[in-house]
Amino acid sequence: MQKMPDKLIEIPVFPLNTNVLPEGLMPLQIFEPRYIDMVKFCMKSNLGFIVLLDEYKVIDDKSNPKFSNLGTYVEIIDFDKLDNGLLGITVKGRFRTRILNSHIQADGLHIGDVEKLSEENSSELQDQFKNIWQVLKEISDHPEIKKMKIEIDFSSSSSVIYNLGSLLPLSSGDKQQILEASSDIERLQLLDQLIVKFGGG
């Protein structure tokens, strides 16, 4: 992945009824003209776009849709024409972003200026949350997961969090909580609770 600046200007924004974490993969079917044009622009410009969860949208006094200002910058890693004739793409989450401001083009596409959010990338939390590291190691050793060739840095708390969060069957709301958490400790606590709910604790 190319090194990205801390602020990105005029980046396409794709509100969806689902979301993706950094390091996670997401297949998408593209059919609206504005998003087909977005994909063409991103591939030509070697840029990604921002995925936001549109279930968080509210309506302001001008009846303009507003979405959660925190999402994920994703890059297109694969594309193909599907059997149903639609364009299929696979995107990979790269990093969390915050929307600084946005506007809507004539074709309805959201465009925003965003800032890249920093991560802790600590290894010091492994002893405190060793069960989370262990669960991820067990899942990543599964033959079907190995086929995905996921790159996991077990010395980085952020890499462990986002990879495990992407592999577990989390709801969009659970993922959004992880995205919006203020620290890796808070994210690990959320994951710990979710693992117990799934019967892994």
Q: Tens digits of per-residue pLDDT, 94-145?
A: 999 999 999 999 999 999 999 999 998 888 899 999 999 999 999 999 998 8
Average pLDDT, the chain: 89
In the predicted model, is pLDDT for residue 90 greater than 90? yes
Name which residue leads in pLDDT, 201 or 88: 88
Residue 59: the pLDDT is 45
Judged by average pLDDT, the poorest of 26-35, 65-74, 94-103 is 65-74
H-only helix segments in the chain: 33-45, 130-140, 143-146, 157-167, 172-180, 184-197
Residue 124: the pLDDT is 87
Residue 61: the pLDDT is 45
For the chain, percent of residues with pLDDT exceeding 90 = 70
Residue 86: the pLDDT is 83
Residue 82: the pLDDT is 80
Residue 41: the pLDDT is 93
For the chain, percent of residues with pLDDT exceeding 70 = 91
Region label for 23, one of left (φ > 0), alpha (ψ between -120 and 50) or beta (otherwise): left
Local confidence band at 49 (pLDDT 50, 70, 90 cut-offs):
very high
Name which residue leads in pLDDT, 2 or 144: 144
157-167 vs 172-180: helix crossing angle, rounded to 10? 170
CA–chain centroid gap for 108, Å, is 22
Q: Dig out the tokens for 11 from the structure.
A: 């980046």
Residue 62: the pLDDT is 46
